[in-house]
Amino acid sequence: MKRSSSHRLLAHGRTFAAGCIVLLLLVAGAWSSWNTAHHIVLAKGREHGTMAVTGCGEDVCTGSFAPDAQSQDRAAVTIQRSVAVKKGDRFPVVVKPGSGDVVRTGTPGFLHAWLPLGGALLLAALVIGGGLRLTRTAWGAAITGAALLTATFIAL
């Protein structure tokens, strides 16, 4: 039985809509990740040092900053509160330009910065498999997202 043109149009419309949703999820995940990750990836010329967490509030944790040789001394710095930051921790950081906010560096900081992209990959895998009917691509996206989330969990 031949498909009518309306069935073909509906199938192409569904594919187009699912593709747009996948694109939106991946762009949003990458954009959200890049807001933090660019401080780590493009860290040359920025202030580096070590933060010792002295206290945490609802949204941020504060602590002392021990600068490296090229950085200026700061009385205190703040970092976004997460499950990976608690009182007494010490870790390498880079200072966001023009502020007293810092971002964790090294492998744990790099992986933590890309965490939103890992979640977006997992969500996109559902749409890729169900909406686009690309099961191998969906499995690839899901495995990549799960690997990123797992590596972050282990690193932190």
Sheet holding 48-56, edge to edge: 74-80, 60-67, 48-56, 90-95, 102-104
Using DSSP bridges, classify how beta strands 90-95 and 102-104 pair: parallel, antiparallel or unpaired.
antiparallel
The residue extents of the domains of the chain are: 5-40+114-155, 46-104
Q: pLDDT tens digits for 91-138?
A: 999 999 888 899 999 999 999 999 999 999 999 999 999 999 999 999
Is pLDDT of 85 > 90? no
Terminal Cα-to-Cα distance of the chain (whole angstroms)? 57
* CATH top-level class of 46-104: mainly beta
When the pLDDT of each residue in the chain is averaged and rounded to a whole number, the result is 92
Hey, is 76 helix, strand or coil? strand
Region 85-96 average pLDDT: 90
Task: Report the predicted TM-score, pTM, of the whole model to 2 decimal places.
Answer: 0.86
Instruction: In whole angstroms, give the CA distance from residue 85 to residue 55.
Output: 10
Q: pLDDT tens digits for 6-44?
A: 889 998 999 999 999 999 999 999 999 999 999 999 988
Q: What is the pLDDT of residue 1?
A: 60
Strands (E), 1-136: 48-56, 60-67, 74-80, 90-95, 102-104
Go through the chain and tell me how many residues it has: 156
